[in-house]
Amino acid sequence: MMTKNKPAYHIPVLLTESVDALRIKPDGVYVDATFGGGGHSREILKRLGPEGRLFAFDKDEAAQANRIDDPRFTFIPSDFRFLKNHLRFHGIRQIDGLLADLGISSHQIDTPGRGFSYRYNAPLDMRMNLDDERTAYEIINEYDEERLAEIFREYGDLKNARSIAKTIVKQRKERPIKTTFELVDALKPHTPKKTANKFLSKVFQALRIEVNGEMDALKEMLKQSEDLIRPGGRLAVITYHSLEDRLVKRFMQTGNFEGKLEKDFYGNYSVPFKKTGKFIVPSATEIERNPRARSAKLRVAERQPEKQDA
């Protein structure tokens, strides 16, 4: 039985643009790597014929309530970093396209007990998969100052990362920092009055990325897409911050995450994907309807044919 999707769960970003980019073939095999509320999946299914198939991944158990009752649809309750193994289990070796919307869902942000937002008082959790052991509490209270600073600098792009880390370490020596509000309170010496929301968003983003291993998972998924997407198939990825966008951009341009073009045995540059054009951003109308789409970027690339040896 199909569970009706509550409108408040998540508003899909760049819905038409991202699904258009896949150039859906009626009998094709596609992957929605970030199922969430199922908005993108439902649009893909509208364009598939009776022989088409769609596999959707999501490690957040709350997303399972949005599963779609359709014989062409398979929901896989797992992190997309295990993409290839799960598809092989279902007998799938190649796909015609993959869509990934990397943003955290509105449902996750607006569920106070998950600890994703500084707007609600909740335990420092931030796990997308509640079976994972590491939470934001462990990071804040157990990581040393150097590692904390590295996380805030790398994942939050915070210039005063070292002083933030030092303050947290000092504060937790007096008593553990257990909740989101206690963390916000500890950060007050560093929180700019005029841009407090932006600052706190960066701190919480950095913690969320570390808790869920998001950057490593993204790299693993992108590398697996190279093996899975057949020539002519499409990779469409929606990003929300510069760190993940840079990884996606470099991978699409060069096939690696350093952004360096590499030559094959014959001295030719060999890249698995070819970009289909400039990145796409939401329209002013979409941003007005869904302010959380403001920072979104859609990048699209097409799988190149494998070069044959002479």
**Do 21 and 68 have their domain in common?**
yes
**Do 198 and 224 have their domain in common?**
no
Domain boundary residue among 212, 228, 258? 212
**Do 218 and 86 have their domain in common?**
yes
**Do 227 and 101 have their domain in common?**
yes
pLDDT at 269: 78
Would you list the DSSP string of 288-310?
A: HH-GGGTT-EEEEEEEPPPPPP-
For residue 69, tell me if it sits in a domain.
Answer: yes
For residue 7, tell me if it sits in a domain.
Answer: no
Q: What is the mean pLDDT of each run of 10 residues along the chain (310 residues)?
A: 45 96 98 97 98 96 93 97 98 98 81 90 94 96 98 96 98 98 98 96 97 97 98 98 96 94 76 96 96 95 76
**Do 126 and 140 have their domain in common?**
yes
Q: What is the CATH number of the domain that holds 97?
A: 3.40.50.150
**Do 131 and 59 have their domain in common?**
no
CA dihedral 175, 178, 182, 188 (to 10 degrees): 70
Contact 264, 307 (CB under 8 A): yes
Domain boundary residue among 161, 178, 212? 212
Angle, helices 214-228/242-254, rounded to nearest 10 degrees = 20
Q: How many domains does the chain have?
A: 2
Tokens of 78: 């797992």
Helices (H), 69-195: 83-89, 106-110, 136-142, 145-156, 161-174, 180-186
Rounded Cα–Cα distance for residues 60 and 209 (Å) = 15
pLDDT at 2: 39
For residue 309, tell me if it sits in a domain.
Answer: no
pLDDT at 103: 81
Rounded Cα–Cα distance for residues 247 and 222 (Å) = 9
**Do 28 and 73 have their domain in common?**
yes
pLDDT at 260: 87
List the domain range (segments joined by +) for residue 169: 119-212
Q: What is the CATH number of the domain that holds 140?
A: 1.10.150.170
Rounded Cα–Cα distance for residues 296 and 293 (Å) = 5
Rounded Cα–Cα distance for residues 51 and 140 (Å) = 49
Beta-sheet strand order (sheet of 53-57): 73-76, 53-57, 29-32, 95-101, 229-239, 297-303, 273-275
pLDDT at 306: 77
Q: How many CB atoms are closer than 10 A to CB 7?
A: 10
Rounded Cα–Cα distance for residues 111 and 251 (Å) = 33
pLDDT at 309: 46
Residue indicated by tokens 């509640």: 130
pLDDT at 36: 94
